[in-house]
Each structure stands twice: as structure tokens, then as C-alpha cells.
Amino acid sequence: DAKTTQPPSMDCAEGRAANLPCNHSTISGNEYVYWYRQIHSQGPQYIIHGLKNNETNEMASLIITEDRKSSTLILPHATLRDTAVYYCIVRAITGNQFYFGTGTSLTVIP
Amino acid sequence: GAVVSQHPSWVICKSGTSVKIECRSLDFQATTMFWYRQFPKQSLMLMATSNEGSKATYEQGVEKDKFLINHASLTLSTLTVTSAHPEDSSFYICSASSGRGLANEQFFGPGTRLTVL
């Protein structure tokens, strides 16, 4: 079962930062936070993951609160191509399965 | 790197027929592969987990005799929907993991859209 809660939808102006929140209040000490996104009718695409430190890559930044009960995915300069459903998933380090929650449908507006 | 392909990308079949979907890891060896199903406007639902050379583990509520999974090699897994019916129409997505690294990342295929008439 999914252990995350995300807002169902968000809008963001093109060129602005998109901040997508995720609540994972029951996360365990050995569980990572992963973010994937799914553009309509395609397979999910990996974005970023983290354990407890903030992470940044070429796509996004991941900010994890000190108590690890929530996190925020930041797309620094959203483009129209970032319109997608964004999924936040928690999973144990040695785990296999991903259980997807309902995700956040992000719409980037021109 | 880390590319996963699926074939076919879409298929239409008559009710009662069986359909096979292939999932391949193109540039890495996938010790574990996963199959998901996604209905319109819904999230991905994990159907089963398969490890190379062993029987698949199905999630609760997924009929193993209806959704046959074979993972005969480290680069290929197949999902066969037997005696398909219109309610099996869905978007089927596979993912693959090499089992390496702390993050044990999964790489997803592009999906196969099945329509049963």
C-alpha cells in the first residue's frame, strides 16, 4: 500500500519554480523517498531520490524535512513539457516493490 | 543506459483470446521485473514481481492463472493475459531492476495499451 499523501493537482506558471509536496509521516528509518513522473500514456520516468539529505540533479531538487515526515520536489524553472503526474514513493533500501499513490497532476500554464 | 522496452506498444484483440506482452531490458541484466496495470485516470497498480528463473509473486487480488508471467532470462519477461475480456482493457507497464546499488532503482518501460473488444 502507498504510504504517501500528495495534493491531487497543482498549476504552475511556465518559467516559475514548481514545488510539489509529499507527506510520508509513517516513513521508516531505512526507507528512501523516490520521485517519478508520468507523462500521459507513457511509462513513469525517474526524477530523483533521497534518504535524509537534500538532493539535487539536472532535473530537480528534493528537500526532505529533518524529521523525514515530508518532502518537496522542486522543478526550478517549469516548462510546458513538465506537465505530468508526479508520484512520491517511499521504499526500503533493500526493498523491491514500488507502490504508487495517487500522485499530483501538475499543469504548467503558458 | 538503463532502457526498458515493451512490445507491442498497443494491441487490440477479441474477447476470449490470449495476448502476450514482452518486456526487455536492453542494456542491463534485470534480476527482477515488475508488472503494473493502469486504468484511465488512475494510478499504477502493481500486479506481480518476478525474479529470473523463479515463479512470479502476485499481489493480492491478481489472478495468477489469468495473468501468466514468465521471466526466463535476465533481459526478458513476458505477461500473457489469458482469455482476455473487455474489463482487462488497460495500460500495462513493466519495470526492471538490476538489484544493484543502494537505491535499487527501477526502470520503466513505455507501456502497452491493451483493448479487448
Closest alpha carbon to B95 in B48, B33, B44: B33
| pLDDT > 80? residue B10 | yes
Question: What's the grid cell of residue B112?
Answer: 502497452
Chain B residues whose CB is inside 8 A of the A93 CB are 102-104
**Degrees (nearest 5) of the Cα angle B35, A90, A97?**
25
Chain A residues whose CB is inside 8 A of the B44 CB are 38, 44, 87, 100
pLDDT in the model for residue A41: 86
pLDDT in the model for residue B98: 80
pLDDT in the model for residue B28: 87
Average pLDDT over residues B46-64: 91
Residue with cell 499481489: B59
Average pLDDT over residues B84-112: 87
Closest alpha carbon to A38 in B79, B76, B42, B88: B42
Per cent of chain A over pLDDT 70 is 96
pLDDT in the model for residue A53: 87
| Cα-based distances in Å from A89 to B28, B54, B102 | 24, 27, 16
pLDDT in the model for residue A96: 76
The DSSP call for residue A72 is E
With beta carbons less than 8 A apart as the criterion, state whether B30 and B56 touch. no
Rg (CA), chain B: 14
pLDDT band at A30 (very low <50, low <70, confident <90, very high): confident
Portion 39-58 of B in contact with A at CB < 8 A: 43-46, 49
With beta carbons less than 8 A apart as the criterion, state whether B25 and B105 touch. no
pLDDT tens for residues A61-103?
Answer: 999 999 999 999 999 999 999 999 999 999 887 777 888 989 9
| pLDDT > 70? residue B117 | yes
| pLDDT > 70? residue A8 | yes
DSSP per-residue codes, A4-49:
-B--SEEEEETTS-EEEEEE-TT--TTEEEEEEEE-TTS--EEEEE
Tell me whether residues A100 and B44 touch, CB distance under 8 A.
yes
